[in-house]
Amino acid sequence: MGEPAKKRVPVVEGKPRISEDGEARLVGIKCGDCGKVIFTLANFCPNCSGENIEEVLLSTRGKVWTYTIVHVSYGSLIFEPPYAGAFVELEDGAFVHAPIVGCELEDIEIGMEVELEIIKAGEDEEKESVVFAFKPARAGLD
């Protein structure tokens, strides 16, 4: 038998949130006043300042809203330039800033369907550090 799986730990606490069974998801808030879903955890809605909010698991799928090619990194230890940094509009309406992986830079386009990808950033004897990105969505998945 192989070694037991290492515990997955996000490089940035809570981004993504990882359940006991190792499933990784992004978490945000939904405002009960204006209805906005936002990728942040806060005590009030940044859209309307309402305090009627609930924590929600965000969709794992979305579309590239806009992107840029990063040629000079501002501190990423995981992604080597050039790489694509994008704003992804998730199916639930939240916007997430993240790298796009799993395809050639010239294949990325606005409106491209993408899905959450968890990437190993490092490891030690006890844990595996992870970050999130998005990759081209597999066809036929809902």
The larger pLDDT score, comparing residue 3 to residue 141, is at 3
pLDDT at position 76 is: 65
pLDDT range class, residue 15, cuts 50, 70, 90: confident
pLDDT in tens, 121-135: 888 888 888 999 999
- Mean of the per-residue pLDDT values for the chain? 90
Can you list the alpha helix ranges (DSSP code H) found in 51-93? Answer: none
pLDDT tens profile 23-42: 889 999 999 999 999 998 89
Q: With CA atoms as reference, report the closest residue to 108 among 59, 60, 70, 74.
A: 70
Please, which residues bridge with residue 113 across strands? 63
Up-side HSE of residue 142: CA atoms within 13 Å toward CB? 0
Most confident of 14-23, 67-76, 84-93: 84-93
The total number of residues shown for the chain amounts to 142
| pLDDT at residue 7, rounded to an integer | 85
Amino acid identity of residue 14, one-letter, is: G
Q: Is the pLDDT of residue 138 over 80?
A: yes
* In contact, 22 and 141? CB cutoff 8 Å: no
Structure confidence at residue 8 (pLDDT)? 85
Asked whether residue 141 carries a pLDDT value surpassing 60, the answer given is no
Confidence grade of residue 1 (pLDDT, cut at 50, 70, 90): low
Please say whether the beta carbons of 27 and 41 come within 8 A. yes
4 Cβ neighbours under 8 A, 6+ residues apart: none
Per-residue pLDDT tens digits for 51-68: 999 999 999 999 999 999
pLDDT digits 0-9 by tens, 87-104: 999 999 999 999 999 999
DSSP state of 15: B
